[in-house]
Structure 1
Amino acid sequence: MTTSSLIYILIAAIIAFMVAFFQYYKKKKETNYILLGIRALSVFAILLLLINPKVKKTELTNIKPVLNVLVDNSQSIRFSNEVNSVNDILNTLKSDNSLQDNFDINFYAFSDDLSVKDSFDFNDSQTNILKSLSSLKKINKENGATILLTDGNQTYGTNYEFFTDKNPIYPIVLGDTTHYNDIRILQVNVNSYANLNNKFPVEVFIQYEGNESVSKVFSVRENTTTVYQEKLNFSKNDNTKRVEFYLNANSVGIHHYYCSIERLSNEKNTFNNQKHFTVEVIDEQAKILILSDVIHPDLGMLKRSIETNKQRKVYVENNLNKNIQLNDYQLVILYQPTNKFKEILAKLITEKHNFLLITGTSTDWQFLNSSQPYLKKNYINRTEEY
């Protein structure tokens, strides 16, 4: 209730008493005093209704702040022999009476996401620290701190270094936090298929972490045979190499390759020094048909140039009346077409086959302009003499 309301109530009480007093003060009977009191209360009640004071009731409740304990439940904790350390920390938190009296403690396990747990088995295969912290931020909006027990090894997700929260986060780092020099194969880019008797490209990215300059040999093996080898120089500033090379596809089938980079003298993690990749070599020849009703030396030159790629086989056909199976060819080349090509060209367009037009002095442009929609040419029926 506000101060002004109290003043109005006090004034109303005085007015109610004065009104009743002036009505009954001349009368000496004892009943008049009772009527004076009733009249004063009645007037005061009416005035109180007119004032309409607002009464507010305030209750204070003491709520303990929240303390969230997030425990990394991934296999890397077990791998680094930190299970006992985690259990010791949890037992200390649970047995501390001061913490229990002053905080509402919640225990969570996290791997690929967040879950409520009191016991932990450390068998999860993935770790996404950022997603777990974001999930906690959504479900727990009260003021409170977070204790994060983890080895910091995040297997996927956005980098948790960019996570922000108004509530403090206190990490307890598990495992060996010493930084060791490391060299690793980041990525291998290669096509899954290659054509027989061709060369296929391979691209490899290698990264070095360290301050000293080192030289290491990168090699690629197929079974026990080394098919590629190169010496690479790394330094603190020049720490990433992009290696490009070609391998021969000499036989049909699935070929397994093993690429590796030499380990450093003090390197702890050597699992990332190697990667495997597979390539399937297939034997497929594209058949190309050249149709022509003239004899020209360009035909032989065209055939030889195309067949320099061993995955191409060229067939030359001069008999346009022959029953040609167009589905047997991946490409049909029409050399200087005339009106004799009418049925063939119509069939190519109708059945949507791949075809290529080569024109010259013997080309019938009147026929070609009217028989296909892809190109038009203005022409004159004259041959230029040189």
Structure 2
Amino acid sequence: MIQFLLSPWWIIPILVASFLLARWFYKHRGYQKITALLVGLRFFSLAILATLLLKPIIEYVDSSTKKPILTVLFDYSKSIFNAVDSNKVSSDYELFSSQLQNQLGEDYQLEFFYFGEGVSSKTSGFNNNQSNISGAISRVNDLYDQKLQAATILITDGIVNQGNVLEYIPTGPKAIHVIAVGDTTSIADLTIADVRINGRTYTNNLFPIKVKWTKENLGDTPFTIGLYSGKELLKEQQVNAASNAGFITFYHSEKIPGNYLYQVVLNAPKTEEQQVANNQKYFSVRVIEKEKTVGLVYDRPTPDVGAFAQSLKKLADYETKIVSLDELNQSQLNKWDALVFFSSKGIPETRLKPIKDFYDAGKGVGLFIRDANQAATLSKLGFPSVQLETTLQENLVYAKPNDDYQGLDIRPTWKNFQDIHPLKIKLGTPKLASGYQHIFSQKIGSLDTDLPLLSSHQIGNKKLLVSLAWDWWKLRMSFYRSFESHEDFDVTINQLVQFLANRSEREQLQINIPDQFYSDARQTVTAEVLNNSGAPVNNAVLLFEFSKQGEELFKMEFIPTGVNYKLNLSGLSPGKYQYTATTTVEGKKLSKTGGFIVLPNDREIQDLRARHKELRKFAQKAGGEFFPIEEGAKLIARLKDQPAPKIYQAQINRSEIVKWKPICILICLLLGVEWFLRKLKGNI
């Protein structure tokens, strides 16, 4: 098909003009056969040249047949390596890979990937600290067009500790076949399954440390669980239980504020355990001074207020005050360290001004709003802007945790918020001012989005939380139904309130670093430098020195971003660290000291029993087949027996006629013949 970049209607005047010009050129010769031939040659030359100015393009379809893509995902997490059959897993992987290439390489385009917490086309061994099967499948689906994919082969032990569990992994139109590795046999094993603590507490306050233990195939053999600080045994309890799981609780206190690193160790000398790496677990606690008072304010009664009050009463030494907006007075506000306001309707600016004054005084405020008019009113008052372009229609969304969030001490319990119970939110596209960080984003069905659900904002000592959802009380109840405990929900609410309640004077040098993070986390430290007038300084030289318990001192330099300063602190070994940050502003030397704790990521050694039963169900749901790796050849044979689907791909190609060499040759030929005939007949 021929197309023109300019209007093709120009061809008609081009032909007319070309003919008239050619005839005018030979008008003095009258009509002769040779003259008619010369006019025709000149006409075609002019017409072709003028038509090329319209930029004609020829479009044609190029059809081809391609091999369908067969993606293969190998699990390279530590649970594979630590399993009982770890010595042969690597050779099984290599054998299966070679069988795929030898028997299916001609019919399929094989694409191999290796996953743990991430996905890569190359492997560095069984050293991934987490298993994210849903993330690996999603990543592969994003890389390739679903129309070109034939199927996916997943080789794993089914142990999941990041992303969606197998039951909730979304499947597409293409089959996912499962090759199962690992050992499903229940071995003799004792495990510290979980340690539940409140991440922050107060000096001289007894705080609970709830330890969950499990055991398999060990009968009623007694064992002890000890609480350690370094090598010092602080407390110990003996467990004599016939059940396969249970809890014990330690109560401990510290007199001096700071970060404390603890270790829980399970000791069972008379057992025949085959796996002892999961007999210990590290955790840390931040000890701070002074009891805080938090006000929960509402414009109309809502169960969410009660849920927050119960969470704070259960896990923290907060004095919690519940007050309606009508009863709120300045005397109460002067005694509070933080305020959480639950709004369900539009409120006049004058009634909200005391809350704005509370915020301006450097006290943390949480705004749980659901109304667009209410958001507009708060923005007019001077709170960091929140715009809700919403409708009256309500939507159900899940809370998706943001693992890269910097403002709070993120705990593993946050991941449990995903897929537990949806929250209600007004349907629309919220817009927040710059400076907000998302704590939770909206997950709509199985679709992860970047739309804010719960966000924080902090400038100096002004701290703000903004929630756009409600029915948090239902989420708390769902935690109890799922885990027989509110604890994960309560710990998270406690962290949010601690973020609001903990005040610090606005210092010229501010370092934002979590109290603790995992050794394999991508950890970024941020900093802010102010001059003597309180204005940001964006070109300071900011040094960061840190060491681990008196070991070698490391020196790094923050990178200015134009807004603040950033430093990558990833890849540190587990332990307790102290740091000093220094800079000079307007001739004044500023320094900041502190500490943080790096925890080992031990999720991959907590439970090494392969989940073949769950993998079989997942394969059925995904339209695929299930085989243990010893029978992997059967899957290859079935795929070989099934004719590979033919992928026809049509590609539209374009070619500019002006670039064709034959056109150039034709024009030269027409002009050359015309010139030759004129010379032959005596320069007609």
TM-score range, shorter chain: 0.3 to 0.5
Greater radius of gyration (CA): 1
Higher relative contact order (CA 8 A, sep 6+): 2
The structure where strand makes up a greater share of residues is 2
Query: TM-score of the superposition, structure 1-length normalised?
Result: 0.47
